[in-house]
Structure 1
Amino acid sequence: MGSLPKYKEPKIIRAKRGWFIALYYLRPDSSGYKRFELSGGINYVHDLGEREKEIQAMLKFLKKELEQGFNPFFPDIEERYENAIQEKKQSIVKAEREMSGWDLLTGLEKFTADCRARNLAERTVSTYESFINNIKEWIEANEKVDMRVCEATLSDMLEFLDTYYDEEGWSPRTYNNHAKFLVTLFGRLKKLEKRENPDIEYRIDLSDIELKKDRAEKNRYYTPAVAERVKKELEKDSDLYNYVKWIFYSCMRPREIRLLQVKHIDLNARQIKAIAPTAKTGDRYVPISDELMELIQSMSLTELPLNFYVFGRGNKPSEFKTNKDGFSVRYKPIKDQLGLDNKYTLYGWKHTRVVNLLMAGFSDQEVMTLTGHTDYQSFMAYKRELMVDSSIMKGKTISL
């Protein structure tokens, strides 16, 4: 029987608990192999691409040492190897320090603090914060908390913009406002971070970001004829129909409704509190009309625990949040059946409510209490997007 080889070929192990090189070396008494796990600080490198390069280099180094007689059972030789690994670890830490930068959430905090330090108008800061809240939600939902600002790309930002444009029913104007803010945000962050680390390099280039045409119709409102056809189909799905009613009667954004809890509904004061950052315009109060009151009572919402979401898991009242596209998936077959294109969205029911109220003679100021607009100019821009005019040439003119 031949003698056993001194060691088995070392292999890289990429385990959840950490990466290391597994080395099986023959025991001094030849009774079998002992496994050694050599990491050398490789798990300090968070970028997986860089970590792969480093551990491959360590494997190559180890193989060379083994060929030259390295034996982990001999302390003096092991110490030599450990010293070499320690030097490698220090170089890794140094490289990581040189390449380190602010993560996205830290960058957003730095930006906000800088805005206040420069004494920007409170209205400007408030607007920026509404944009930032959307970015934060996207970061957390897509597990990008550890991404560094310097590593962000145009592709990442387009993913953010397109996700909210489609799932949150953004208008072209809202999309464009966020796109322009991203240019401001990353331009400023680059200057701020370079003050701390002059060697930092940013990958992102927003010079090619394309804006939506302002007149592009998105979230088309439902004319009475179309609305009636859709409602007949909605009646077959009570949960979906209730969700549409919530959008219509409250004029809340789908995201606001998705994160609405029972504790936010005050029937005595007849108002609902939409809490920032779930609300686009920050904390605001939504009046409860008779129709919305009837809907709340029919769903027996006030009898539920205060922490229950109105539309939670399974798109029913629950203590757990629902996912973003649950109702959109259920709504699509209705649109397909009726031949409606993707401009007819769930969010379009909010616009339908606004159009109906204006056509019924409610004033702009009254409707603004529902939409959440804080100034008349932005509301007028919103009306122009809907192409709503409730007065001109709608009455009797001149007979021929």
Structure 2
Amino acid sequence: MEKQIDVVLPYLVDSNNGTYFVEYRCFYIKTNRLERFRVYKGFAKLCPEQVAGHAKKIISHLTDKLKSGWRPWDGNNVIYRDEVEYHNVVSITGRTRKDKNQIRRYFSEFLTYKKSDVSLKSYETYQSKIRRFELWLESNGYGELLLSQLTNEIITKYFIYLIQKRKLDSVTVKNYRILISSMFAYFLKTKLIKENPVHDIPRASKLVDNAARPITDRDMKKYLEYVALHDKQMLVASLFQFFLLLRPGQELRLMKVQDIDLHRKAAYVADNNAKMRKRVVTIPLALEELILNANLLAFDANFYIFGKFGEPGPVTIGKNHFNRKFRIYRDILKLSEKYSFYSLKHTGAGILMESGATLAELMAQLGHTSFESTIHYVRRHFGEKSQKVVNLRPEFLKGII
């Protein structure tokens, strides 16, 4: 998924020559990059002991303004919070808007409608992409148009911007098209417009596959030996991910002690955690042994298995906790950058297939709702393996290899 940092919140900088200043960065759509801003005011006359207190006031003031939607290039527009805000890796920000901005109001209405209709992760995808679209409309002079005045010509210009300026790959551009088209389909259904302007959209030619790659046996052993020695919780999380094939952001981190049933060899993925519905995955004997050795079932049944302090507890870890830790350990071990924490799921699925599991068994463990989804998953991550190709060894190779 395409991501863009929108704001780097203020922080104090010591330039090592006695000069102090507060620095922050904001993404400016007209330059298509993070622009740097610095505040020097008041630091020159301070002694070193006073710097931290002065910086704290400036940082607090700027942080509040940035989170409310203010940007250094903004005028005195009225600020308010609505659903057209962008969640990113640094902060959650709003956006300034004039009261008469009809486009923003209806975009927000659509997001409110989708909020109860999709998972949190899907909602955040809708929110970030629609916010970028609305930001582009404002920056290009279309922000004060009526909803019905957003023509196919304007929509096409936006997609040309995504392809030529942002240089997004074909899959990401297609996702933008599907999402924005669904929003205008909603406006059409609610009779806010008379036709959907999202049609005959240019297609990007660049194809980039950023899917996490399965981990080789050698690298898997190297990684597991390291975390077993240095991070017990990461070892448990890695093997849960490997054996249960869970989605790490929601299903894994929100699993509770009560969701483990060793008698039935079952792990329950609760309704509000799963992407689609309640499901049950099978616990292999090797994972059961790990659960018993880690004494996980001795904790309160309502505790999250992956608690904030390295053991089951009432507060779970953050959404990207394991992803960040995996990258740190991956880099320490000098493993491929194509690996991510999600790679553990793909690695487990691949080994399950090689063990002789049927497509139906793999589909159930993955939590897919159709054979088509599982077939697509297998082809994408493992390709089409032919034993005839694997065993190919022509006679003329004898004595050479």
* Normalised TM-score (structure 2): 0.55
Aligned equivalent of 1:260? 255
Summarize deviations over 1:338-388 as a string: whole Å, max 9, x none: 322321111101111111121222222222221111211111111111124
Whether contact under 8 Å (1:312, 1:319) holds in the other structure is yes
Q: Which residue of 2 aligns with 1:184?
A: 181
The answer to whether the 8 Å contact 2:253/2:316 transfers is: yes
Query: What CA distance in whole angstroms lies between the structure 2 residues aligned with 1:109 and 1:240?
Result: 36
Partner of 2:268, secondary structure, is strand
Q: How far 1:103 moved relative to its partner? A: 6.4
For the structure 1 residues 190 and 323, does the alpha-carbon distance in structure 2 shift closer, same or farther, using more than 3 Å as the test?
Answer: same
Pair 1:180–1:99, CA change in 2 (3 A): closer
What stretches of structure 1 of length at least 5 have no aligned partner?
1-45, 56-93, 114-128, 156-171
What do residues 217-256 of structure 1 show as CA deviations (whole Å, max 9, x unaligned)?
Answer: 5211111122122222122221111111110011111121
Say whether residues 1:101 and 2:96 are aligned partners: no
Question: What corresponds to 1:227 in structure 2?
Answer: 220
Q: What letter corresponds to residue 344 of structure 2 in structure 1? A: W
Q: Which of the numbers 346, 351, 355 marks the counterpart of 2:350?
A: 355
Alignment partner of 1:213 out of 207, 212, 216: 207
Q: CA contact under 8 A between 2:303 and 2:314: conserved in structure 1? A: yes
The structure whose Rg is larger is 1
Q: 2:311 aligns with which of 311, 316, 340?
A: 316
* 1:52 lines up with 2:55 in the alignment: no
Are residue 136 (structure 1) and residue 123 (structure 2) matched?
yes
* Residue 388 (structure 2) aligned to one of 387, 393, 396: 393
User: Structure 2: 5+ residue runs without aligned partners?
Assistant: 1-67, 80-97, 139-168, 396-401
The CA deviation at 1:307 is 2.4
Letter in 2 for 1:183: I
1:6 matched residue in structure 2: none
Counterpart CA distance in 1 for 2:104 and 2:330 is 48
SS of match in other structure, 1:373: coil
Does structure 1 conserve the Cα–Cα contact (< 8 Å) formed by 2:245 and 2:365? yes
Paired position in structure 2 for 1:249: 243
Q: Which amino acid aligns with 1:220?
A: R
1:297-312 → structure 2 map (5 Å cutoff) = 297-312=292-307
CA distance in 2, matches of 1:178, 1:287: 33
The 5 Å alignment of 1:261-280 reads: 261-280=256-275
> Deviation of residue 399 (structure 1)?
7.4
Q: What is the one-letter code of the residue matched to 1:136?
A: Y
Q: Do the aligned partners of residues 53 and 205 (structure 1) sit closer, same or farther apart at CA in structure 2, a change above 3 Å counting?
A: farther
Task: Pick which of 269-278 and 336-345 moved more.
Answer: 269-278
CA distance in 2, matches of 1:206, 1:300: 58
Q: 1:148 to 1:224 in 2, by over 3 A?
A: closer
Alpha-carbon contact 1:153-1:205 (below 8 Å) kept: no
1:279-326 deviations in Å (ceiling 9; x for gaps): 234322111221222222223232222321111213432211211222
Offset at 1:97? Answer: 9.2
Matched with 1:36 is none
**Displacement, 1:51?**
9.5
The structure with higher relative contact order (CA 8 Å, sep 6+) is 1
**Paired residue secondary structure (1:272):** strand
- Secondary structure of the 1:382 match is helix
Please provide the CA RMSD for this pair: 4.4
- Measured in 2, the distance between the counterparts of 1:188 and 1:211 equals 26
Counterpart residue identity of residue 290, structure 1: L
| Partners of 2:115 and 2:123 within 8 A in 1 | no
- Normalising to structure 1: TM-score of the pair? 0.56
| In structure 1, distance between residues paired with 2:264 and 2:200 | 47
Counterpart amino acid of residue 243 in structure 2: Y
State the alpha-carbon separation in 1 of the partners of residues 104 and 320 from structure 2.
36
Amino acid at match of 2:316: K
